[in-house]
């Protein structure tokens, strides 16, 4: 069993197997992940009844966008700090 994160290529398989009613242990064996990792992933994204692949994709994309925005802010602050250090009058 691989103890890594559940990847995007695994989401559709998880969704199909949940709809059919397979247990987490069987889902994990199919995708080659640890059963607890599969269970945590499903629980985080709606549970057994509310798991939706499109929603998982949307939420992951929103997390990436939020992370990129925070990096932009940090870069902007660092840039302003650098400009302040070199020319304190203009920033």
Q: Give per-residue pLDDT as tens, 30-67.
A: 999 999 999 999 999 999 999 999 999 999 999 888 88
Exposed / middle / buried, residue 71 (Cβ in 10 Å: 0-12, 13-18, 19+): exposed
Tell me what pLDDT residue 89 has: 45
Q: What global pTM score does this model have?
A: 0.70
Rounded to whole angstroms, the Cα distance separating 85 from 71 reads 21
Triad 5, 61, 30: Cα angle to 5°: 35
- With vertex at residue 21, the alpha carbon angle to CA 18 and CA 22, rounded to the nearest 5 degrees, is 80
pLDDT of residue 65: 84
């Amino acid at each position: 069993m691989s103890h890594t994160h559940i990847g995007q290529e695994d989401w559709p398989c998880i969704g199909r197997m949940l709809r059919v009613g397979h247990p987490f242990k069987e889902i994990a064996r199919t995708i080659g992940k640890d059963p607890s990792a599969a269970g945590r992933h499903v629980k985080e994204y709606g549970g057994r009844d509310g798991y939706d692949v499109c929603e998982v994709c949307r939420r992951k994309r929103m997390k990436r966008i939020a992370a990129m925005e925070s990096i932009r802010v940090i870069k902007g602050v660092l840039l302003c700090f650098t400009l302040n250090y070199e020319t304190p009058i203009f920033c």
